[in-house]
Chain A
Amino acid sequence: MGVVLNVNGKVHELDVEPDAPLLWVLRDELGLTGTKFGCGIAACGACTVHIDGEARRSCVTEVATVAGARIVTIEGLSAEGTTPVQQAWIAHQVPQCGYCQSGMVMAVSALLARNPAPSDAELRKAVTNICRCGTYPRICAAVQQLAAEKS
């Protein structure tokens, strides 16, 4: 008995409780520590991953609910190395402590996948992740650059 998860294209059969939080299964069972714990109640977004392409907060996602879904973490965001979002993050020198940035990159990547050229207002509404270092102005600048390249 267990739960079968498809994470970053790999299938894992795991002996965990069905209601185990995806965040901790990723971190403690699979060693994928790029996804971060921030609050445990879906309030901060540090744990954001993609479930079938949608940004989801893994700390409140019970593993049984995503069995069979396509789960992507920061480690699996791209097979070809640094994505345009990550490149823009480097170009704009976005991170400070960097702890929230996995979640930020995942949240922004999911937004851009459905809306490649979001307005600043759309970005601010869609991405509610918390950054305590205050990297938000650079996140806006980086996304505006990505949007400009698309439109």
Chain B
Amino acid sequence: MAPRRMVLLGGLSATGALVVGYALWPSGRLEHANRLASRPGERFVANWIKIADDDTLTVVIPHCDMGTGIFTSLPQMAAEELDADWTKVRSETAPPDPLFANGALGEGFILSGYDIYPENIPAFLRGTVANSFRTIAEFMDLQVTGGSSAIRATGVYGIRIAAAAAREMLVKAAATRWTVPQRLCITRNSRVIHPESGQSFRYGELAREASALDLSSHPKLKPRSQYTIVGKPVARFDIPSKVNGTTIYGIDVQRPGMLYAAIRIAPVFGGKLVSVDTHAAESRRGVEKVIRLDDAIVVVADRFWRARDAVAALDPVFGDGGHGGVASSNIAGRRLAALNGELKSDVKTGSGRDALAGGRLIESAYQVPYLAHATMEPMNATAHFVDGKLEVWSGTQDGLGSRVQCAKTAGLPLDKVAFHLMPMGGGFGRRLPGSFNFLDYAVRTAMAVPGKPVKLIFTREQDMQHDYYRPNVMSRFMATLDHDGSPSAWVNEYTTDDSANPEAHILYDIPNQAIDVAKVKTHVPTGPWRSVESSWHGFFIESFIDELAHLAGADPMAYRLKLLAQKPRHAAVLALAADKAGWHNPLPAGRGRGVAIVECFKTIVCHVAEVTIGTDGRLKVDRVVSVVDAGMAVNPDGLRAQIEGAILFGLSAALFGEITIDKGAVMQSSFPDYPVVRLADVPDIEIHLIESDAPLGGGGEPGTPPVAPAVTNAIFAATGMRLRDLPIANHTLSMQRQSAG
């Protein structure tokens, strides 16, 4: 039988041409969707779009809710195209079924110019589904939330199109009933109206008929000028239940007869459990079982605190997997050795590094440490293995990928595994595929106590010491300036623990460039961390360009503007930031102002930071003025919240964040030795959103990268000290002689 319906995934490309991708809905798929995710009185009209008899429009979101607001902003995009009554709009999480894979994400990346080969896969997706996806089909078998992609890929290339198609189907259903041409019908407030006769139908009255129609192959999309819901600040749906404690996060899952598990994992990554005397735990109250895994010891008890205390009472012996000699200091040495060895060329323009010979050479090396994610909710999962079937509850950034991973760990076929994607207390990249150790341990624990649901919770210490860290990397720059101080050559040699990073490419117009890469892999597991590669390349590039500006005797803002003359959006962002921050207003001694601009996930963000350095060397970040061009904001208040949060996330890392390795293991364990920003540290934050005609950019991550360089550039302006490594807390700040110029 021929496919009964086809849903379009398409949208306007960066060049403005209509780009259309197809996701075929084979016959029966709609019924399958209804079986999976519809209640009585409602049905799917198109992908992700359900309409109920009472007009309720439910948008089924193929992403997780980690607090970024997409469970409200994606419905805004659907409601806009559907001309829905906003008071009748809801959202819910899609089931972790391949039917609801967020293939639009893949489409979005294809359309935005990524080729889908393993080396080109954006880092936040690497490691997904066992590193095996080399084809678009596999790529689409995901429900990832990462890469600031929900709005700009799923929304733009998916939900918005499906909603427009659904609207046309509703119109067709009404026009058929009235036997009038569709073009004489309009839609408003969840009704199809025939103005000539004054008749109208509610969407709920039409939904059943509409859902039986073929989708229009080219649904008409609204131009931005006609938007009435998108672009307006709306209250998020999820907030009321987050102020009264009723949101059920992964850690809050309760099952009848549930047991609790606490774990101690080999402190050195790759180490194995050698021996353990389990008696000390087994005799304790409530302990049900002590489980020896190859690289960890787990205690299962009737209450969590009993499991936690029992596992702490053990004295297991773990091997070091041959990594016991690794320390942060010798990792730094290895990076330097790699940069002095053979490099792989990533970018060469003009005469590349040969142009260094033509002027005064400036050389600087930058580095950043490992960082933990430290989500507020420590990693956890609840798993129940009974009668050959596995059921798992957890908060992750990929529901379908989690289900696949659990099946793999358990050695079960996918149809024997159910996964319940729960709201989560922070993600920041920690809960993406490739970083699922908490799922693996929970599943292995559940398999060892068949018949009983068990909730495994990492203590904060285990969470911090068994993360997948933001990598510890360095960059070595060389540049020469021409007679007017502009850079004529730009050389960046950097280390990566992965493939070359497009984020090392620069916005600035510099004629001769060489960007070369050295790979340094350690035994420390690494993974995506909010804004991924931009988080360190932003610091490196925006610090070094600042050095060049000062050496050229130029104003750092004017210097950047000159080098961005061919990029009007970036120049406009900088210019507005200069204006709003009062860039040219002089500051008293001990205070300084710094600027940084980074484009990340297609959104341009400039921060201007103002700092005060006390006579005692104490740093206070007083103010951050931020200008953001994300094309447009679907929910402007939501985007502001994301930028505020991203600034403070970046500030925690800039000021304090550092995970160090000694004897192969992580030295930090909790907030006292891994401090993060608290209320007392928070600067005044002022955000200005620019609406441009550009395609929508990401919202969750782009606010993070420019924070560290804006602050360190401000410290330089105030003191003359150039900080080339983070965190700032490792430096004793004092007034140095201002550099020349």
Contacts and interface: CB of A to CB of B under 8 A. Distances in A.
Chain A bound to chain B: yes
Interface in A69-107: 73-75, 77, 82, 86, 89-90, 93-102, 105
A6 interface: no
Contacts of A137: 644, 682, 685
A132 B239 contact: no
A136 B648 contact: yes
A123 B680 CA distance: 9
A18 interface: no
A75 B243 CA distance: 10
A98 B679 contact: no
B677 A17 contact: no
Nearest to B682: A136
A128 B425 contact: no
Contacts of B68: 96
A130 B645 contact: no
A124 B251 contact: no
B235 A90 contact: yes
B285 to A, nearest CB: 7
A64 interface: no
Interface residues of B, number: 62
Interface in B441-464: 457, 459-460
Given A38-B460, A135-B645, A124 B376 contact: no
A138 B644 contact: yes
A93 B426 contact: no
Contact of B240 (A27, A90, A128, A135): A90
A80 B646 CA distance: 35
B671 A124 contact: no
A151 B728 CA distance: 39
B176 to A, nearest CB: 42
B318 interface: no
Nearest to B247: A98
B264 to A, nearest CB: 14
B671 A44 contact: yes
Contact of A97 (B244, B304, B426, B672): B426
B139 interface: no
B425 A89 contact: no
A97 B67 contact: yes
A97 B677 CA distance: 17
Contacts of B679: 123-124, 127-129, 136, 139-140
Contacts of B243: 82, 86, 89-90, 94-95, 98, 101, 105
A93 B637 contact: yes
B393 interface: no
Given A21-B305, A99-B425, A132-B376, A89 B239 contact: yes
A93 B424 contact: no
B615 interface: no
A130 B246 contact: no
Contact of A39 (B246, B303, B641, B671): B671
A142 to B, nearest CB: 10
Contacts of B304: 24, 27-28
Report which residue of A38, A125, A133 has the largest number of chain B beta carbons within 10 angstroms of its beta carbon.
A133
B376 A99 contact: yes
A3 B240 CA distance: 34
B678 interface: yes
B238 interface: yes
B426 A101 contact: no
Interface string B639-653: 001101111110010
Contacts of B246: 34
Interface in B316-345: none
A123 B682 CA distance: 12
Interface in A21-35: 21, 24, 27-29, 31, 33-35
B376 A97 contact: yes
Contacts of A31: 254
Contacts of B205: none
A24 B303 CA distance: 8
Given A34-B244, A44-B671, A100 B376 contact: yes
Nearest to B285: A17
A73 B245 contact: yes
B243 to A, nearest CB: 4
A39 B244 CA distance: 21
Interface string B188-223: 000000000000000000000000000000000000
A40 interface: yes
A24 B676 CA distance: 25
A20 interface: yes
A131 B376 CA distance: 7
A71 to B, nearest CB: 14
Interface in B369-407: 374-378
Contact of A36 (B240, B425, B427): B425
A140 B670 CA distance: 26
Nearest to A77: B244
A100 B645 CA distance: 14
B377 A99 contact: yes
Contacts of A136: 648, 677-679, 682
A68 interface: no
B682 A29 contact: no
A74 B244 contact: yes
A46 interface: yes
A2 interface: no
A33 B248 contact: yes
A39 B458 CA distance: 10
Interface string A98-120: 11111001000000000000000
A35 B459 contact: no
Given A38-B378, A86-B243, A95 B67 contact: yes
Report which residue of B68, B376, B378, B645 has the largest number of chain A beta carbons within 10 angstroms of its beta carbon.
B376
Contact of B303 (A29, A40, A73, A140): A29
20 contacts: A39-B460, A41-B672, A43-B672, A75-B245, A89-B243, A90-B243, A94-B243, A95-B238, A97-B375, A97-B424, A97-B426, A98-B241, A99-B424, A99-B426, A100-B376, A129-B678, A129-B679, A133-B426, A135-B644, A137-B682
Given A90-B239, A98-B247, 9 more contacts: A89-B243, A96-B641, A124-B679, A124-B682, A125-B680, A132-B428, A132-B652, A133-B426, A134-B677
5 closest A-B pairs by beta carbon, nearest first, are A34-B245, A99-B425, A98-B242, A134-B648, A97-B67
